[in-house]
Every structure is written in structure tokens, then in C-alpha cells.
């Protein structure tokens, strides 16, 4: 029997062995105390619901649950002997962590209720087993020395970094607090796991480099790609690689991002280890370079299976969100939280946070997605409240950089509303209560695929490019709408289609959100007022187009839609037979039709003589004309004008008519003659004698000399220009060279050297035809 108040690692147990029942004393943790039991490995649920595969899965799952329930019912010492020394148990647990469906896997939604119940039982049993394995003290009598506990779990590989990451992915939603205490206890009792985590971060960075290399890309800080040799084929890209390689790449990226984000969310103490390796900067660069290339490949490539393309797009969007959330967790726990808690060296944390935001500015794609989910303005507002000495110039620069990034893509920021996560309470019928181990309290276990947040599936569906709308979120085709209704009614058949349509419209056509909110009874207040059995509204039949059309030719003689009979003699194709151009021109029928109209205008009566015996009614003299305008009958038009006689005279002088004038010719003509004579007398008589040209040249030369003398110009002494010079070969003087240059420059002034200029001038003026 085990001694009380002694740790399990120091206990000695006396047991009877052999056929004779000979007693022997063994340590409490000894391989001989292990029970012989074979634990079968786990197999995932079948994708199709064939009866044979379902029966096989149910039988296989029954073996696993019975074995794990038997294990959990053992005493403390027996449990640890079985855990430490039974290899089949470890293979069973590892197989579940490896093959259990994740949130985005198609098998996460079981095909039948029996399969779902069995998956839930296995999920609970595995989590309870790991929970007990992470507990070093179950009660005052049952405990292990903390140091020895750390050595046991580390040396026997009961826990390692990959197992811890898988635990966070599978059991994190709904059990985050409990899982956080488990992992914290493991790292506290065995600090060697921090060293393993440090190496795991390097492996994660290598994963990012591998994805970039597969896509033929490279980002800042990544391992340099070897130069391509001329003899080697070109490196494949996301657009040129095979379809299977692209599928594996997207699955690899999605699984990695989901796992790391879940681990950092549940165990924030690991953020410092990631921060030491500049993981945040590498993540932002990877996001900016790789994500657009992979998205383009998923959208542009032709897939034979459209469901595969939709699944890949959903996983890419999921990976994007997880990378942004990873960046937010790293900033929150390494920079922002120490600032808000008022820790020492707050200036260092403030500077580091601002430096990270500044680093994000060139990475516009990452910056916009981060700001959409976690607005940078809110973080800066918190900084200004916690640290009043914050540099306003730097914060204004950051905020302006974010606004410029939004303006550069021509898109407005959409307010992101994060979904509510439920980490402390499970869905109705999904939580289980059990022993809480060393931490106490209520334990809730969430089943995979049933959490409300995985993986923000509604928004993943909104990001899917719909057919016919160029990827515009919020619009959906009739076929896709019917598919969503069928998907929801398969799970909730008692709800009416009208109610489900209202729910889908409220939650942007996300079947995941609608199912989640209905199960949790958290629908919008407007939806709660509706009848849940409300049928689908009857679609009004549109009236026929012919009855509602409107046209300028309606009801004419050729309107076949409104007339039963049409004069077909007036309808022909091409040139009408039996008619010639001469007959058409000689047809004066239209003139005869107009003749009667114009004859009425020939009767014009200027004066009608009315005899005294005739009454005025014969000629319509007594009829009152209602259209007569009598506005100005009593007004004296022009009587009140301001123009007087003086104004009229000023405008035009008074002229005596010729009839009333005295004399032979008009007075005005006499005055004009006198004025002309005076002008002639006062004019200077010009001398028409032509002077000697030589004398005129002398006078002009004298005037020129006088003008030059006033300006201070000294003319060169008169000499005869010499352009001939000395014989060839004897050299020329400076005067000869200058004379030749002047002659060349001014030769167009005389002789006939300006023929071309004058010819162009004449041509421009139209004298010479071009």
C-alpha cells in the first residue's frame, strides 16, 4: 500500500507476485505495475455516410472511449504507471491529435448523429486524459514532486511543443482558461520547454521561407534564394505550380497560422519568445508578399471542382485573419499591456510600439487589414492616455500614413465588429462537468466544429467571389441562396424558410452565423419578434412584358401585338413590285389632298357692306370677343415718356426741307464748299521738282554722320576691301579674312543673291503656284 502524504515518486509499494504469492517491494512508478492493455489508434470520421464505414467508426470509437474511461478510473499511482510505460496509450493520444478534424475540415461536421455523439465522447475522453496528465497534484494524498513531475513529462515525451500546439487548436475554443492553466503548469514545472519553444519559432520562420520559395518569392529578412542557373528550369510560382501543390501549400499555410494563433491566444507568455526573433516584422513582410500572390492563384486558376476552389479561398481568408490576429497578440502582450499596467521603462515600450507601427506603413496590404480589424487610432488613443508625453508629431504621422494607405486603394474603412467568443461556457448540451484537478472550478469542453467563432465562417463566405457579382460581398445568386437554406434546414428542419431568409439577410448570408446564433438563442431583437415557422413569401409573378411595354408605335396600323389584322398589302420586303420611278413621280395624289385645304385661303373680303335692315348677328358684330386684349385701350402710349423736345433735337439736328429752302442750292452745300476752299488756301504748296540724287545722298550721309557722332560711334577709316588676298599657299592677312567674312554675311543685300528669299516670299503670298 502507498504511504500517505508522500509524493508518488518516493513511494514504495509491496505487492504479491508469482503463483506462490511472494511479496516484493517496488517503486510506485515501475514498469511491472503497468496493466497489459492495448489502446487502438484513432481514425477520423468517414466522409461519406455509408452504413459499413459508419458501423466501423462507431465500433472503433467505442474501443477508444472504453479504454480511456478505464484509464481515468485508475488510482493515481496506477494511472501514472500506465501513462509513463504504456506505448500504445501514447500512440492512441498522438493519433487523435494528428488526425482529429479541425474547424475547416469537411469531416468536422459529422454525417450522422451517431457519428457526432461518438466524436464528442472521444473528444471528451482525450481531453480529460491530457488534463490529468498535466496535473501533478490531484489531492493532498495524490501528488508528485514538481521537479520530478517536470522530468517525467519531459523525458518521456508526454508533452512536447507540437502536442501543446495541437491541444490549443483542438480544445482551445470554449476551454481556453482551463487549457491556459494546463500549459502554464507544464512550462512552470519544466522550464526546458522554453528552449524547445525557441527552436520551434525558428522552425515556424523556416516554414514561412519555404512557402515563399515554393511561390518563387522572397521578402525582407528571409533566407536568400540561391541564384538560378542557366541550365535549370525556371522556378514555379503560385500560378504555374501544379494544382495539387497549390492545394498542399494553402493547407500548409492555413494550418500553420491557425495553430500559432491559437497557441499565442491561450498562452500569452510565449509572445516574448516570438518577439525575440523579430517574428512580427517577418510576418508583416510575408503577408505583404505572399498573400496577394496566393489569392490571385486561387481566384484566377481554373479548377475542375468548384467546391475545391471555394474551400481553398475560405482557407486563405482564414489564414489572413489569423496572421493579423497573431500580430495583434504580439503587440498587445509585448508592448501595449506593459504600458497600460504602468511597468518600469514605459518609455522603451512606447518607443517599441510606435516603431512597429512605423514599420507597418510600407506594408500597405498588411497595414489596411490590420487597421480594419484592430484600428491603430484606438491603440494610439490608449497610448496618449497612459503616456501623456507622447510625441504628437509622430502620432500624427502614423495616423496620416494609415489614411493615405486607405486613400491609395480608393476604399473606405469598414468598422470591424469582432465576434463574441465563449471561453467560459459551452453550448447547451455540449459542456461536461467533471473533476477540475488542482485548479478547481467548472470545466467545460467544446467539441470541434461546434464553436461559434470557427473560423469566422460567415466572413469567410463573404470573402468568396460569388458568380456574376465580381466578388462583391453582400450579393448572392438564387442557387447559392437555396444551398444555404438547405444547409440550415438539414440541421434545423423545424424552422420556416421565411424566417431563415430574414436571418440570412440580417447576418449577410452567413449560414454559420445563423446556425450559431439560433442555437445560442442570441438572435437580433428584430428576428426574435418573427414567427420561426414563417413560410417563404410567395414571389409575385411579374406581368408579361408585352402588356407593360410602352412604345411610340403603339396602336398604329402595324402594331401586331394589339391588332388581329394588318393590311399586308402595305407591307413588303425590299423594292415594291409593280411600281416604277416614273409612276411614283407622276403620282400627284398628295397634291389633290392638299388642294382643298388651300382653297379656303383664296376667299378674302376686304369690306362688308351692312344694310340697315340686316342685323349685326349675321356678321357676328355683336359677339363678345373674349380673346381681345384691352390692356392699353385707356392708356396714352408715350404720353409719360421722359424724352423731351431738347433730347430729340440733340439726337438729330433740325434740317430745313428742300421745298422750303430759298435759293438755287441748299445752304448745307454752300457751307461745305466754303470749308473746302479754306482748307485748300491753308495747305502748303508742294514742290514737284526732283532734286539731284547725288545731292540727296550727300545730305543723307551728313545726317548719318551727325547721328553717329551723337552716339559716340567712330566709323572705320575708309579703305578698299580686299577679298582676293595673296596667292594660295602664302597665307592671308587678318583684314582679308575679315573682308571675306563680311562679304559672305552681307552678300544677299545686293546683286542677285537673295533669289531664294524673294521666291519664298512670293510663294507665301500666293504669287507662285505651289
Model pLDDT, residue 204 = 92
Long-range own/partner contacts, residues 594-601 (CB < 8 A, 24 or more apart)? none
Could you give the dihedral angle defined by the CA atoms of residues 367, 370, 374 and 379, in that order, rounded to the nearest 10 degrees? -40
Place 668 in a pLDDT band, splitting at 50, 70 and 90.
Answer: low
CB-based burial of residue 20 (10 Å sphere; 0-12 exposed, 13-18 middle, 19+ buried)? exposed
Place 12 in a pLDDT band, splitting at 50, 70 and 90.
Answer: confident
Contact 38/101 with Cβ under 8 angstroms?
A: no
Rounded distance between C-alpha atoms, residue 473 and residue 739, angstroms: 88
Q: Tens digits of per-residue pLDDT, 434-476?
A: 333 333 333 333 333 334 333 333 333 333 333 333 333 346 7
Least confident range of 154-158, 210-214, 549-553, 594-598: 549-553
Rounded distance between C-alpha atoms, residue 135 and residue 144, angstroms: 9
Place 200 in a pLDDT band, splitting at 50, 70 and 90.
Answer: very high
User: Mean pLDDT throughout 62-80?
Assistant: 92
Model pLDDT, residue 470 = 35
Q: Tens digits of per-residue pLDDT, 319-366?
A: 999 999 999 999 999 988 888 887 778 888 888 888 888 888 888 889
Rounded distance between C-alpha atoms, residue 512 and residue 509, angstroms: 9
Q: Which residues of 441-471 are buried (b: 16+ CB within 10 A; e: fewer)?
A: eebbbbbbbbbbbbbbbbbbbbbbebeeeee
Residue 44, C-alpha cell as written in the block: 477520423
Place 416 in a pLDDT band, splitting at 50, 70 and 90.
Answer: very low
Contact 261/163 with Cβ under 8 angstroms?
A: no
Mean pLDDT of all residues in the chain?
78
Residue 313 or 609, more confident = 313
Rounded distance between C-alpha atoms, residue 266 and residue 589, angstroms: 99
Contact 189/149 with Cβ under 8 angstroms?
A: yes
- Evaluate if residue 602 carries a pLDDT over 80: no
Please report, for residues 556, 755, 765, the alpha-carbon distance to residue 770 in angstroms, rounded to integers and kept in the order given: 62, 17, 11
Model pLDDT, residue 472 = 35
Place 138 in a pLDDT band, splitting at 50, 70 and 90.
Answer: confident
What is the torsional sign of CA 201, 204, 206, 208? negative
Closest CA to 327 of 273, 288, 374: 374
Closest CA to 374 of 323, 319, 320, 415: 415
Rounded distance between C-alpha atoms, residue 583 and residue 229, angstroms: 87
Least confident range of 69-83, 98-112, 159-173: 98-112
The pTM score is 0.55
Residue 491 or 471, more confident = 491
What is the torsional sign of CA 750, 753, 755, 757? negative
Least confident range of 135-149, 418-432, 533-547: 418-432
Amino acid at each position: 500500500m502507498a504511504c500517505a502524504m508522500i509524493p508518488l515518486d518516493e513511494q514504495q509499494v509491496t505487492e504479491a507476485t508469482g503463483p506462490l504469492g511472494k511479496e516484493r517491494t517496488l517503486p510506485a512508478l515501475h514498469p511491472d505495475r503497468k496493466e497489459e492493455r492495448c489502446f487502438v489508434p484513432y481514425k477520423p470520421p468517414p466522409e461519406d455516410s455509408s452504413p459499413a464505414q459508419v458501423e466501423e467508426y462507431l465500433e472503433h470509437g467505442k474501443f477508444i472511449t472504453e479504454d480511456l474511461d478505464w484509464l481515468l478510473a485508475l488510482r493515481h499511482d496506477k494511472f501514472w504507471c500506465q501513462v509513463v510505460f504504456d506505448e500504445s496509450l501514447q500512440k492512441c493520444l498522438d493519433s487523435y491529435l494528428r488526425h482529429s478534424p479541425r474547424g475547416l475540415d469537411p469531416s468536422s461536421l459529422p454525417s450522422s448523429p451517431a457519428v457526432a455523439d461518438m466524436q464528442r465522447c472521444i473528444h471528451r475522453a482525450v481531453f480529460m486524459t491530457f488534463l490529468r496528465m498535466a496535473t501533478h497534484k490531484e489531492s493532498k494524498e495524490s501528488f508528485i514532486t514538481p521537479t520530478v513531475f517536470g522530468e517525467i513529462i519531459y523525458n518521456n515525451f508526454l508533452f512536447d511543443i507540437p502536442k501543446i500546439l495541437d491541444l490549443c487548436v483542438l480544445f482551445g475554443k470554449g476551454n481556453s482558461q482551463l487549457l491556459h492553466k494546463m500549459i502554464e503548469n507544464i512550462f512552470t514545472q519544466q522550464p526546458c520547454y522554453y528552449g524547445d519553444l525557441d527552436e520551434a519559432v525558428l522552425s515556424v520562420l523556416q516554414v514561412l521561407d519555404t512557402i515563399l520559395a515554393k511561390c518563387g518569392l522572397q521578402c525582407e529578412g528571409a533566407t536568400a534564394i540561391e541564384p538560378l542557373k542557366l541550365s535549370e528550369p525556371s522556378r514555379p510560382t503560385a500560378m504555374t505550380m501544379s494544382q495539387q501543390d497549390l492545394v498542399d501549400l494553402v493547407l500548409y499555410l492555413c494550418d500553420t497560422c491557425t495553430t500559432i494563433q491559437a497557441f499565442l491566444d491561450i498562452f500569452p507568455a510565449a509572445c516574448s519568445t516570438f518577439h525575440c526573433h523579430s517574428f512580427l516584422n517577418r510576418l508583416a513582410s510575408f503577408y505583404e508578399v505572399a498573400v496577394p500572390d496566393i489569392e490571385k492563384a486561387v481566384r484566377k486558376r481554373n479548377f475542375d471542382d468548384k467546391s475545391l476552389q471555394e474551400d481553398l479561398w475560405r482557407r486563405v481568408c482564414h489564414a489572413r485573419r489569423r496572421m493579423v490576429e497573431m500580430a495583434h497578440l504580439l503587440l498587445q502582450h509585448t508592448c501595449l499591456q506593459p504600458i497600460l499596467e504602468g511597468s518600469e521603462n514605459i518609455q522603451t515600450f512606447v518607443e517599441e510600439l510606435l516603431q512597429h507601427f512605423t514599420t507597418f506603413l510600407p506594408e500597405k496590404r498588411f497595414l489596411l487589414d490590420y487597421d480594419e480589424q484592430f484600428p491603430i487610432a484606438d491603440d494610439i488613443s490608449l497610448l496618449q492616455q497612459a503616456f501623456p508625453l507622447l510625441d504628437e508629431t509622430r502620432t500624427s504621422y502614423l495616423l496620416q500614413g494609415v489614411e493615405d494607405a486607405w486613400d491609395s486603394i480608393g476604399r473606405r474603412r469598414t468598422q470591424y465588429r469582432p465576434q463574441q467568443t465563449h471561453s467560459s461556457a459551452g453550448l447547451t448540451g455540449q459542456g461536461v462537468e467533471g473533476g477540475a484537478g488542482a485548479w478547481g472550478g467548472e470545466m467545460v469542453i467544446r467539441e470541434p466544429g461546434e464553436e461559434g467563432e470557427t473560423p469566422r465562417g460567415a466572413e469567410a463566405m463573404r470573402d468568396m467571389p460569388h458568380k456574376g457579382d465580381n466578388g462583391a460581398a453582400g450579393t448572392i445568386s438564387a442557387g447559392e441562396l437555396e444551398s444555404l437554406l438547405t444547409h440550415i434546414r438539414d440541421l434545423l428542419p423545424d424552422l420556416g424558410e421565411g424566417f431563415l431568409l430574414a436571418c440570412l439577410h440580417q447576418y449577410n448570408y452567413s449560414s454559420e452565423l445563423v446556425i450559431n446564433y439560433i442555437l445560442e438563442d442570441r438572435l437580433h431583437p428584430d428576428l426574435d419578434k418573427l414567427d420561426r415557422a414563417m413560410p417563404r413569401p410567395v414571389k409575385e409573378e411579374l406581368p408579361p412584358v408585352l402588356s407593360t411595354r410602352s412604345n411610340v408605335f403603339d396602336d398604329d396600323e402595324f402594331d401586331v401585338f394589339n391588332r388581329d389584322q394588318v393590311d399586308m398589302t402595305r407591307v413588303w420586303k425590299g423594292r415594291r413590285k409593280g411600281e416604277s420611278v416614273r409612276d411614283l413621280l407622276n403620282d400627284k395624289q398628295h397634291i389633290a389632298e392638299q388642294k382643298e385645304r388651300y382653297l379656303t385661303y383664296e376667299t378674302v373680303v376686304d369690306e362688308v357692306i351692312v344694310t340697315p335692315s340686316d342685323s349685326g348677328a349675321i356678321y357676328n358684330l355683336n359677339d363678345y370677343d373674349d380673346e381681345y386684349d384691352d390692356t392699353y385701350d385707356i392708356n396714352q402710349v408715350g404720353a409719360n415718356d421722359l424724352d423731351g423736345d431738347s433730347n430729340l433735337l440733340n439726337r438729330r439736328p433740325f434740317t430745313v426741307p428742300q421745298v422750303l429752302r430759298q435759293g438755287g442750292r441748299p445752304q448745307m452745300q454752300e457751307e461745305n464748299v466754303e470749308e473746302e476752299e479754306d482748307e485748300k488756301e491753308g495747305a502748303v504748296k508742294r514742290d514737284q521738282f526732283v532734286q539731284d540724287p547725288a545731292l540727296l545722298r550727300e545730305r543723307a550721309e551728313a545726317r548719318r554722320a551727325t547721328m553717329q557722332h551723337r552716339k559716340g560711334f567712330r566709323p572705320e577709316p575708309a579703305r578698299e576691301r580686299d577679298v582676293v588676298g595673296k596667292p594660295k599657299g602664302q597665307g592671308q592677312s587678318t583684314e582679308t579674312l575679315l573682308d571675306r567674312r563680311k562679304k559672305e554675311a552681307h552678300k544677299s543685300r545686293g546683286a542677285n543673291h537673295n533669289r531664294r528669299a524673294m521666291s519664298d516670299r512670293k510663294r507665301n503670298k500666293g504669287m507662285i503656284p505651289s
